[in-house]
Amino acid sequence: MNGALIFLLFVCLINLCAGYELENSNHFTIHSTFLTFGRDYSVITDEKNDNSTNYNIRYKWAENAGKTLTIENNKQEVIYEMRHRLLHYRAHWDITNENGKLVGEFKHKFSALHHNFDIITPSGTYNVRSESLLSHEFKMTKDGKLVATISKEWFTFGGTYHLDVVKTEDPAFVIVITICIDETINH
């Protein structure tokens, strides 16, 4: 009993100390709304300038079988749409742009201890790997180069994520990937 408790505390301590911060990156905070029909998210940039963009992710009701979420900018223009594909053994999402063109496929890969995801896009392949046993820290690479880190807060209602995204990447697309991860793991 005591050994199990010590091990659990050790794992929690490792997970709490595992936060990452990238150099030359944009910082975002994603909040999942609590007590709503469906799941909506709000995204706030941590940058202190007038050109910063905040995003909203909205759940679309009864449009088709499966889940559909959209990400909108400050002007309420849809940037991306995430559509959950049903009848797959592991989670599979199609990501389309504002014109309806497929720009990425999000796939949950099998892994015994960690969550592992591949996102296949025309510009390259992203891989997201959980860095902690309890899936609160993630590293995102594109073609082997680190492009973002994702950290989920402990003890929050609905979930709060912190993102660091290198400035050369589209932050809205990385936010979409983070929402797909949350939807896959927690819902």
In sequence order, what DSSP letters do the residues of 30-68 get, joined into one string?
A: EEE-SS-SS--EEEEE---STT---EEEEEPPSSSSS-E
- Measured in degrees and rounded to the nearest 5, phi and psi for residue 150 equal -130, 130
Closest CA to 57 of 36, 80, 75: 80
- Rounded to the nearest 5 percent, the helix, strand and coil shares of the chain are 15, 40, 40
Alpha carbons 21 and 42: distance in angstroms, whole number:
21
Alpha carbons 178 and 187: distance in angstroms, whole number:
13
Q: What is the DSSP string of 124-165?
A: EEEEEEE-STTS-EEEEEETTEEEEEEEEPSS-SS-EEEEEE
Looking at residue 1, what is its pLDDT? 54
pLDDT tens-place values along the chain, 187 residues long: 565 555 555 444 444 444 556 778 889 999 887 665 567 888 988 765 555 678 988 887 656 667 889 999 988 899 999 998 887 667 899 999 999 999 999 999 877 778 899 999 999 999 999 887 777 899 999 999 999 999 999 887 778 999 999 999 999 999 999 999 988 887 6
Looking at residue 15, what is its pLDDT? 46
Looking at residue 53, what is its pLDDT? 72
Closest CA to 177 of 132, 131, 124, 117: 117
Looking at residue 87, what is its pLDDT? 72
* Domains in the chain: ranges and CATH: 2-186 (3.20.90)
Looking at residue 8, what is its pLDDT? 52
Looking at residue 120, what is its pLDDT? 96
Looking at residue 132, what is its pLDDT? 73
Q: Model-level pTM?
A: 0.82
Q: With contact defined as beta carbons under 8 Å apart, do 100 and 122 qualify?
A: no
Looking at residue 158, what is its pLDDT? 72
